[in-house]
Chains A and B, each alone.
Chain A
Amino acid sequence: QQQVKQSPQSLIVQKGGISIINCAYENTAFDYFPWYQQFPGKGPALLIAIRPDVSEKKEGRFTISFNKSAKQFSLHIMDSQPGDSATYFCAASSRRGNKLVFGAGTILRVKS
């Protein structure tokens, strides 16, 4: 019930391409879905977050798509750049628990 399943584990994209990372959850009480970006040796940094009352949220080149009925959400990185190479984590939390449950992470490499 508490798991968030993230895929793929790793991803290689050409510069200028679209990177897509997917997450799925079971707990229907989840109502906050953030994405974090982590560079080697650093802590994760919040990238973008969505709540289930919207189906899409865009910030610059980063877009979250949310499908409430399928209990899935995804991160799209448009025009991927080598500087986007990092590990990306999806997460989810509910008002009841107020604790974040993280996916296992996706290592993204953008080739120049």
Chain B
Amino acid sequence: DGGITQSPKYLFRKEGQNVTLSCEQNLNHDAMYWYRQDPGQGLRLIYYSQIVNDFQKGDIAEGYSVSREKKESFPLTVTSAQKNPTAFYLCASSMGRVNQPQHFGDGTRLSIL
């Protein structure tokens, strides 16, 4: 089945620790996205990548980093610089052409220990 796989489903971070969230897609999509979801605030864009080896900051990139070394993978690192990391993180992908539907994974819930 084609889709987007996010792992782990739940993740706990200690103070001062970096953690990496995995996102893999087998839809052969060019574009991939990371969103943060907080209650009552909708989805906010962290980073996006429209092609391998290239990515751009979204609206709330501070304290996060990404890489796009392979078309199917777009990992997100939540660094210790992100002071309020507790949230539901969603990865999405699309064909990359203008205004194509985005397909979402089932998210990773990150909490602070």
Q: Which residues of A are in contact with B by a Cβ distance under 8 Å?
A: 6, 9, 31-32, 34, 36, 41-46, 49, 51, 89, 93, 95, 98-100, 102-105
B40 in contact with A100 (CB, 8 Å): no
A44 in contact with B99 (CB, 8 Å): no
Q: Across the interface, which residues of B come within 8 angstroms of A34, CB to CB?
A: 101
Q: Across the interface, which residues of B come within 8 angstroms of A36, CB to CB?
A: 104
Size of the B side of the interface (Cβ < 8 Å), in residues, is 23
| Complex Cα gap A19–B49 (Å) | 36
Q: Across the interface, which residues of B come within 8 angstroms of A95, CB to CB?
A: 98-99
B102 in contact with A46 (CB, 8 Å): yes
- From B98, B103, B105, residue with most partner A Cβ within 10 Å: B98
Q: Across the interface, which residues of A come within 8 angstroms of B90, CB to CB?
A: 43-44
Q: Across the interface, which residues of B come within 8 angstroms of A51, CB to CB?
A: 99
Does B54 count as interface, using CB distance less than 8 angstroms?
no
Least CB separation from A100: chain B residue = B102
Q: Across the interface, which residues of B come within 8 angstroms of A104, CB to CB?
A: 40-42
| Complex Cα gap A93–B101 (Å) | 11
Least CB separation from B105: chain A residue = A43
Least CB separation from B96: chain A residue = A98
A43 in contact with B101 (CB, 8 Å): no
Supply 7 A–B pairs (Cβ within 8 Å), ascending by A. A32-B99, A42-B107, A43-B104, A46-B101, A98-B98, A100-B45, A105-B40
A41 in contact with B107 (CB, 8 Å): yes
| Complex Cα gap A9–B106 (Å) | 22
Given contacts A41-B106, A42-B107, A43-B90, contact A102 B101 (CB under 8 A): no
Query: Could you tell me the distance in whole angstroms from the C-beta of A101 to the nearest C-beta in chain B?
Result: 8
A103 in contact with B40 (CB, 8 Å): no
- From B42, B44, B107, residue with most partner A Cβ within 10 Å: B42
| Complex Cα gap A79–B58 (Å) | 38
Q: Which B65-113 residues sit within 8 Å CB-CB of chain A?
A: 90, 92, 98-99, 101-107
Q: Across the interface, which residues of A come within 8 angstroms of B48, CB to CB?
A: 99
